[in-house]
């Protein structure tokens, strides 16, 4: 039955639906993906409308804790989002990946975000790990999504990790956030300013953008573009530094705690921050791949699993993550 709805064979589905209507919806309680979910996966608006008009539950969650609005936000389909909201679905339900607005922002779906914001989605909503919507939009590398959130009133200086720290290696987002009033003198969990993160990443253009608005850092003896880049890559900034080792341990601990709470979005964000400072730790890639798996993002899970397996080809867990990602994608 689910395949009929998903592939859009509406007449056949309607016939069977009306034949089995007394037991149809009670039976779907036994499975995680209802006909409504399958219709959405198949992109069938006509089937969605029919099912909703005949009693399909738009609030039912799947095995990952997503309701249909989370799925519509992931697809980035504004018509689906509009239809579900018209049926009375809450605009801000929280899942392991945050709210529908988090999911749309993370995947760069600005049109879906417009609909959600029009229906008063909370642009400053914080998921359990204290990660903000702006971080989701920056992680999705979407300036359009960042602009929508700022225009809706999102705080450009809020969060355990500030938006500017997260955008320190994303030139377009960095420029816009500075124009919107983001503070370039707030450090990350490691005590590093955005300009140091940009320098460590090798982004000279971003260092040049941040240089005029960043206060002089006392530990940087040569306060110039080249001096900052040299300082960021010096021995004191590398993994062997004791304070850096301690902070990396703290960051990993925060990520593990987020995983224990099933807060996969926050954990993925924390692992991403850790990877900015240690690019050679395959465990970070493996753990972030797990986060993406739990969030249902097979493509990003596969990307991290491939990088992990390439970095440590003899490590079984990397190949296990790769297999799990391929299974999610049904490759």
Domain ranges of the chain: 242-329
pTM, two decimal places: 0.73
The average pLDDT across 268-295 equals 86
Higher pLDDT, 254 or 144: 144
pLDDT at 28 over 50: no
pLDDT at 26 over 70: no
- DSSP-derived 3-state class of residue 106: helix
| DSSP labels, 126-164 | --TT---HHHHHHHTT-HHHHHHHHHTT--TT-SSS-HH
DSSP state of 216: P
Residue 109's pLDDT band (cuts 50, 70, 90): very high
Higher pLDDT, 261 or 190: 261
Residue 208 · residue 184 · CB < 8 Å: no
CATH class assigned to 242-329: mainly alpha
- DSSP-derived 3-state class of residue 306: helix
Which pLDDT does position 79 carry in this prediction? 94
pLDDT at 21 over 70: no
Task: Tokens 């850790």: give the residue.
Answer: 274
Percent residues over pLDDT 90 in the chain: 36
pLDDT, averaged across the chain: 83
Residue 68 · residue 39 · CB < 8 Å: no
Which pLDDT does position 30 carry in this prediction? 40
Angle between helical axes of 282-294 and 316-329 (0-180°, round to 10): 30
| Dihedral angle computed from the Cα positions of residues 254, 256, 260 and 266, in that order, rounded to the nearest 10 degrees | 60
The average pLDDT across 127-139 equals 76
pLDDT at 27 over 80: no
Which pLDDT does position 36 carry in this prediction? 85
Residue 1's pLDDT band (cuts 50, 70, 90): very low
- Looking at 123-127, 202-206, 320-324, which range is the least confident one? 123-127
What are the pLDDT digits (tens) for 79-91?
Answer: 999 999 999 999 9
Higher pLDDT, 130 or 259: 259
Q: How far apart are CA 272 and CA 139, in angstroms?
A: 9
The first and second tokens of residue 252, run together, are 């990993």
What are the pLDDT digits (tens) for 31-59?
Answer: 457 888 888 878 888 888 888 888 888 88
> At a CB cut-off of 8 Å and minimum separation 6, what does 208 contact?
225
The average pLDDT across 278-293 equals 90
Angle between helical axes of 242-260 and 264-277 (0-180°, round to 10): 160
Which pLDDT does position 40 carry in this prediction? 85
Residue 178 · residue 213 · CB < 8 Å: yes
Which pLDDT does position 243 carry in this prediction? 60
What are the pLDDT digits (tens) for 197-222?
Answer: 888 877 899 999 999 999 999 888 89
Q: How far apart are CA 221 and CA 142, in angstroms?
A: 35
pLDDT at 11 over 60: no
- Looking at 92-101, 116-125, 146-155, which range is the least confident one? 92-101
Q: How far apart are CA 126 and CA 122, in angstroms?
A: 9
Residue 105 · residue 140 · CB < 8 Å: yes
């Amino acid at each position: 039955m689910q395949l009929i709805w998903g592939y859009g064979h509406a007449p056949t589905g309607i016939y069977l639906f009306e034949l089995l209507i007394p037991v149809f919806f009670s039976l779907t309680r036994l499975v995680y993906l209802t006909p409504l979910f399958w219709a959405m996966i198949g992109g069938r608006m006509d089937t969605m409308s029919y099912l909703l008009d005949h009693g399909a539950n738009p609030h039912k969650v799947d095995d990952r804790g997503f309701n249909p609005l989370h799925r519509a936000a992931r697809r980035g389909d504004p018509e689906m989002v509009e239809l579900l909201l018209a049926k009375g679905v809450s605009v801000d339900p929280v899942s392991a990946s945050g709210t529908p607005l988090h999911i749309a922002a993370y995947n760069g779906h600005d049109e879906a975000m417009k609909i959600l914001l029009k229906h008063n989605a909370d642009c400053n909503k914080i998921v359990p790990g204290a990660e903000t919507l702006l971080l989701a939009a920056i992680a999705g590398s979407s300036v359009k999504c960042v602009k929508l959130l700022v225009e809706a009133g999102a705080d450009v200086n809020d969060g355990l990790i500030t938006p500017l720290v997260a955008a320190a290696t994303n030139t377009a987002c960095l420029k816009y956030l500075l124009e919107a009033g983001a503070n370039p003198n707030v450090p990350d969990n490691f005590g590093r300013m955005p300009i140091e993160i940009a320098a460590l990443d090798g982004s000279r253009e971003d260092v040049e953008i941040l240089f005029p608005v960043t206060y002089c850092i006392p530990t940087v003896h040569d306060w110039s573009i080249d001096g900052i880049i040299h300082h960021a890559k010096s021995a004191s900034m590398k993994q062997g530094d004791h304070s850096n080792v301690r902070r990396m341990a703290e960051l990993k601990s925060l990520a593990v705690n987020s995983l224990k709470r099933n807060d996969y979005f926050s954990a993925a964000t924390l692992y991403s921050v850790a990877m900015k400072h240690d690019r050679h730790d395959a465990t970070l890639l493996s753990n972030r791949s797990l986060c993406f798996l739990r969030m249902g993002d097979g493509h990003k899970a596969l990307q991290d699993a491939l990088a992990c397996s390439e970095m440590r080809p003899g490590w079984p867990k990397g190949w296990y993550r790769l297999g799990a990602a391929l299974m999610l994608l049904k490759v």
